[in-house]
Structure 1
Amino acid sequence: MTSTVNSAAASPAETPEFPMARAAKCPFDPPPALRALQQEGPLTRVRLWDGSTPWLVTRYVEQRTLLADPRVSADITRPGYPSSAPINPEQVGIGFILMDDPEHARLRRMVAAPFTIKRIQAMRPGVQRIVDELIDQMLAGPKPVDLVEAFALPVPSLVICQLLGVPYADHDFFQANSKVMINREATPEERAAASRNLHGYLDNLMGEKLRDPGADLLSGLAERIKAGELTQRDAASMGVLLLIAGHETTANMIALGTLTLLEHPDQLALLRDSDDPKLVAGAVEELLRYLNITHSGRRRVALADIEIAGQVIRAGEGLIFPNDIGNRDPEVFDDPDRLDIQRDARRHVAFGFGVHQCLGQPLARMELQVVYSTLYRRIPTLRLAAELDQIPFKHDAAVYGVYALPVTW
């Protein structure tokens, strides 16, 4: 028999708020309240900033099932979409991740080729050179050093700039505006201004690629514009999406993963002392599962009534998928709160699931494999230069991580 007990019974005031706070002494773990909701069942109502009460999907199986369901939409413009913050009507969109098929698939195919596994593996020697050069600079400079500014942020920024054809000399500009766009506490006006800044920048850059194309991804989009397959505005939006996603997520995983390993010295020693590529690759998957930096949950809205786990999700109702707690589901991962780089964690949902799962995951995996197999081997005495409770975590951002990570050796 189908139950709809949570769909109308609880008043908004009685419904738990989302997002939820992490425990101060457990910065690597999902919020305790989120864990409690998962123990109660796979679906429950939560209350957002605007008073709306979408469904929160807390368990792994239901997350994958619904994320793969074509009756679930990623279109932010649909009524009922559970937005994480107020949307300014003037704010420019950020491309195909907030669209549905067929338009989502059409645009995604235009930028998919550079992210194939074969193409990404061909980039590995260049990424290795970037990592080694940045480590050389750290070792030659003063200490302690902020690992975020000296290493974690430059690595993926340099890589994505080369892939897209964006001048790295402009990194201060695009990093500053990216931070505003993913800050949950920024006002709609601030986010809209940052969005206009980045779109204007990418639009100008697309104009340059149209006049003088190269061998980079943006030049490939310029050819699509010339062929009439894409407008320059849409190409700029795709560039903004790829630029932000290409450096913010990996930068945070580098820094947060390093901090996690420093706090788990037995796991760090296993990784540092091994030259087995399979163990390194496994460590990357386990850190992605254990940390899952997209901690605000993926957002969707139902296009039709969907019956699942004894509940009926009605058409027009919002859905939130907090993948951090999905990756800690004890029905799927044994002892899920334990970091174990030797476990098989490849089933995690850190990159999402279904047609919208992360396009850049092969690049992120490769970058993290290079970083995690190099940094701790080359600086074997790497350690924190501050207490854990002094580290500034990004509780206010859509992408979780640390604002700074002082380290020494």
Structure 2
Amino acid sequence: MRVFAIAAILASLMPACARARDITVVTWNLGWHVDRATAATWISKCDGLFEKSATTGVWTPSTSGAGIPGWQVNFREKVEWDWTRFPVCDVYKDRAFNTVPVTVGAYDKRLQQLNDFLQNTIPADIYAFEEVSGEQAVRDALPDGGAGYEVCTFVDFKVQRLAVAWRAELGDSVACTVEPALSLPDNPEEDQPRPGLSVDLTIDGELVRVLVVHLKSSCVSPLEASGDLTDDQDRDCRILQQQIAPFENWVEDRFGGADKVILLGDFNRNFWHEVHETGPVRSDGSSPHTPLPAGVLARDLFGEVFDDDPATTTVTLLPEECPVNAAAMALCLKGESEILSAAERKQLGHSENLGCRNPLGLDHILISRGISSAHAAEHIAVGVFGGTKPASTAHPDPLLAISDHCPMVARITL
């Protein structure tokens, strides 16, 4: 007993920086999430009528009293809209992919369900959120207005912004920095994706850097024709290809000078498919350790960016599991190296399994040297809260999904 007592005393006297600390980190795309006040204005705008110009083809708010509600407008067409403040009107869709108009009462209920889910299912030390409009949107999502949490985010760029929230007791913030190069500012506005976000925290005397990304969507897997990064004719893959060089530059810069780095977010790219895919990283077969030559395209985003050069950028891509039940576990394991069929993805999205429309292949958590994890990252089921249902006679307010993504959670040791 004396040996244990002495060991405990010695441990208590050790410098804080020498002690390991276990923390829980979460990345979650909240799907065009805005604060309560912005939601009310957005709903009012989408309730309004829009007309399509016969000459320009642009949908504009109606001045004649004719037209269709904003909920019925296809926002993939040209629409006169404030993209810095408001989501598109066709955010919430039912299982048949029909747009569901939103009410203030429905949005309030969604916020309460989101509060409860964060508090009861995924309490965390650090949250990385994608597709949030700003700090108030984050605090509206967190229980008790985010009491006890600090928030880093930004107000520029489009409304699908990034944010990091961390327990104030975890450590002090040294810097909160946006990386605009990832947004491809030289592109036309409609071809500008999201920037990156970097947060520096001092935790137990060490500089821990948290990086969050939300890369271009719809160029997901090298196992799909629509996911060929070298297809310059595909708009989505072309834009994602353009992000690779600034992304790698940012990673190399941000991994330097920090004791430990956590990189997480919605990469919109199935890294596990890239890891399992054989073949050259680049279209010309050259080494990813050298600068990407002009005119040469990366076939493999993960292999191009995380090539262990410089050594500070060596990362561990955390394995991923879906522990909700045996069926979900099996499908997620299969999906790590193969393309799931439409029926299998639909099964994984059922409420008894993961429940979300985008269950896997998009979100990842990576950790630098000096950080470890004894367990896989977990895709957490949202169950019935992942589905949107339209209003009915019995229920005048629709039921809104808390997100079309499932959160990913990891327990790591600093």
TM-score for the superposition, normalised by structure 2: 0.24
Please say which structure displays the higher CA radius of gyration: 2
Greater relative contact order: 1 or 2 (C-alpha under 8 angstroms, separation 6 or more)?
1
More helix by share: 1
